[in-house]
Structure 1
Amino acid sequence: MKAVELFAGAGGLAMGVSLAGFEPLAIVEWDKWACDTVRDNQTGGYPLVADWPLHEGDVRHFDWTSIDESVDLVAGGPPCQPFSMGGKHKAHDDSRDMFPATVDIIRRLRPKAFIVENVKGLTRSTFANYYQYILLQLEFPELPSRKNEEWFDHFLRLQAERTSGRQKGKKLTYNVTATLVNAANFGIPQKRERVFIVGFRSDLKIDWSFPRSTHSHERLLHDQWVSGEYWKRLKVPAGKRPTMPASVAAKVRKLALAPLPPDSLPWRTVRDAIEGLPDPQSAAAKKIANHRFQPGAKVYPGHTGSPLDLPAKTLKAGDHGVPGGENMLVNPDGSVRYFTIRESARIQTFPDGFLFHGSWTETMRQLGNAVPVALGHVVARSVAEKLIRKEMQLVAETLHHVRGVA
């Protein structure tokens, strides 16, 4: 199966797509630092990215006519600043809004499926109409806006087209499903809420829904405060275990009275993620790539960090400090420090062999903008399974027809 990756960044989603069995025809990213990260890993022979056809540049300027093979999947996360909770919230008025470019590329390549990822802020009530406008553009990519047409007028025209049903079966359309996902519910050691918009070409008649979650907070609470399995697994002696927070006491009592533990895996925590890594200020840390101590972490109102025994807060790519201290670790004794690049990479489920290029600030920007590799794999694998099953169904139907004619 063939794929095209847009807005690839350091390659989180693209790695998940590759792990799901897709072969990239083009990996496009405009940021030099992110491209340098991928190029450094290619030079170093990291196998997953070694053969990526990486193109540094704007997706709007790429020669898409050079893609002369059938494309099974287009994937990417258009720049999220227009919709980010920490951004200027300008949406369609923001020049960084790359959704129109994404729709244009889908119209050109006509992929069997697409995966689009973006921030939770896209679903806010402020952007309600524009969010629906995005979904309709992806559903009807062959109905682009007209010259000098305002986005809202285009939105109304798309709504009318959907109501009329004229496009279905005649032009390129997609069955689109949008889902707000918490990455922690899929084994990512991070409370990262993101929107995934997945579409399948309508002519394929594929019925898809987002994969079921596999991990839960309730099971983590059970393993921490009812069975103690969490502490045993991570070899935390009784004397070094924190006190149970009063805020979860009622839930823990209820879990203790239940006949069976929750039927899920426990959320993975920061402690899970960084297990085996030495203290970044130790001599042993010098032997580990991207694992250097970053000074200056401090607590102040609104900047409280991520507790060791919960999934991390969403890693951020802030330019002037990070609200909430999302890139800062809080130890059980209350002391704080910044995550190292390697720890942050683990929180984003990048493999240890994948190295990052640039300063701590620049690399944290790459990581804060990335899709967790493991979450990208979950989504891409579910899409791949549907496409493979459809292909097998078509082959079986063809064989049945040939035998019937014979």
Structure 2
Amino acid sequence: MKKLSLFSGIGGIDLAAKWAGIETVAFCEKEHFPQKVLRRHWPNTPIYDDVCTLTREVLERDGIIGTGRTIDLISAGYPCQGESYAGKRKGQADDRWLWPEVTRILDELSPSWFLGENVSGHITMGLDQVFTDLETLNYTAMAFHIPALAVDGDHERYRVFVVAYSNKESGPQKNKAISSVREKWETWKNASWCDWRPIPRSNWHIFGPPVSRSTNGIPDRLDRCYGLGNAVSPYQVYPILSAIKAINDQIRRANYENKI
């Protein structure tokens, strides 16, 4: 399963995707410090720095997609400053509101899955528009409001995760695929987070030493604080990505069996 990562930050979602068996084939992140982190841990994965110029044509030119190479999942931690309770909450009037670029890329690439991430303030500002746009693009979507504490995090850090599945499947497999997704989602919603299989912790060093112990100088420390402040805990999003991978594998098996 192949994933394109938009607004990647320091790779929290992408690390969780790796644990779940999903390969990130390209990043899009404009900030210098997060790019350094991504290059350190994914040295062979290309990084684009402007979501506004990232197109299907560019990805085809660079060999990211093409014959036999498709994007199954797009993840996007789209900018949250316009929705954050810590800001002025301008929402879509904020010039950092880049959700329309996400919808453009979704429309161009038509992945089977979408995973969005944002702050709690997104629930009351902007989330309705996200659902409307996803429905227009023919996706079935739902949102989950999950604290890092749910996976034994040391801080509350609530995040809104938007999970969407494309309804564009054609032929006799469509209804079976959609019902599989819905059935799995119902099980998923009702399950305790503790029911998920153990999450590997060997790569947690990706985020470097704790901020309070950084001795790399003030500028780097500020960059580290910024990166960590915007980061998604991989443990927080891993159950979602694990479920997406399991459902996707189930659908592929069902489609294969229907063909033979």
8 Å CA contact retained: 2:141, 2:164 = yes
Choose which of 41, 52, 61 in structure 1 pairs with 2:53.
61
- Tell me how far apart the structure 1 counterparts of residues 228 and 16 of structure 2 sit (CA, whole Å): 15
Choose which of 248, 253, 260 in structure 2 pairs with 1:392.
253
- Please state if 1:370 is matched with 2:231: yes
- Tell me how far apart the structure 2 counterparts of residues 340 and 80 of structure 1 sit (CA, whole Å): 27
Distance 1:291 1:370, change over 3 A: closer
Choose which of 188, 193, 205 in structure 2 pairs with 1:214.
193
Distance 1:112 1:358, change over 3 A: farther
Match runs of 1:50-199 below 5 Å: 50-55=43-48, 57-65=49-57, 66=59, 67-68=65-66, 69-124=69-124, 127=125, 130-141=126-137, 173-199=138-164
Distance 1:374 1:50, change over 3 A: farther
Q: Which runs of 5+ in 2 are unaligned?
A: 60-64, 170-176, 202-207
Report the TM-score, using the length of structure 2 for normalisation: 0.79
Report the Cα offset of residue 16 of structure 1: 1.0
Count of aligned residue pairs for this structure pair: 227
The CA RMSD over aligned residues, in Å, is: 2.5
8 Å CA contact retained: 2:147, 2:156 = yes
State the one-letter code of the partner of 1:51.
Answer: N
- Tell me how far apart the structure 1 counterparts of residues 104 and 214 of structure 2 sit (CA, whole Å): 35
- Tell me how far apart the structure 2 counterparts of residues 398 and 175 of structure 1 sit (CA, whole Å): 25
- Please state if 1:290 is matched with 2:209: yes
Report the Cα offset of residue 376 of structure 1: 2.5
8 Å CA contact retained: 1:185, 1:213 = no
Structure 1 runs (4+) deviating above 6 angstroms are none
8 Å CA contact retained: 1:139, 1:175 = yes
Choose which of 378, 381, 390 in structure 1 pairs with 2:242.
381
- Tell me how far apart the structure 2 counterparts of residues 72 and 398 of structure 1 sit (CA, whole Å): 20
- Tell me how far apart the structure 2 counterparts of residues 213 and 188 of structure 1 sit (CA, whole Å): 16
8 Å CA contact retained: 1:182, 1:191 = yes
The Cα offsets for residues 113-171 of structure 1, whole Å up to 9 and x where unpaired, read as 010010000113xx2xx421211101212xxxxxxxxxxxxxxxxxxxxxxxxxxxxxx
The Cα offsets for residues 45-73 of structure 1, whole Å up to 9 and x where unpaired, read as xxxx2432222x11111232223222110
8 Å CA contact retained: 1:82, 1:88 = yes
- Tell me how far apart the structure 2 counterparts of residues 371 and 107 of structure 1 sit (CA, whole Å): 25
Distance 1:390 1:358, change over 3 A: farther
- Tell me how far apart the structure 1 counterparts of residues 29 and 163 of structure 2 sit (CA, whole Å): 21
Report the Cα offset of residue 392 of structure 1: 0.7
Report the Cα offset of residue 180 of structure 1: 1.1
State the one-letter code of the partner of 1:382.
Answer: A
Distance 1:9 1:72, change over 3 A: same
8 Å CA contact retained: 1:33, 1:358 = no
Match runs of 1:292-371 below 5 Å: 339-340=212-213, 359-371=220-232
Percent identity of paired positions between Structure 1 and Structure 2: 24
Report the TM-score, using the length of structure 1 for normalisation: 0.52
Q: Which runs of 5+ in 1 are unaligned?
A: 43-48, 142-172, 216-263, 266-272, 274-288, 293-338, 343-354, 400-406
Structure having greater relative contact order (Cα 8 Å, sep ≥ 6): 2
* Structure-2 residue corresponding to 1:246: none
- Tell me how far apart the structure 1 counterparts of residues 152 and 34 of structure 2 sit (CA, whole Å): 25
8 Å CA contact retained: 2:16, 2:241 = yes
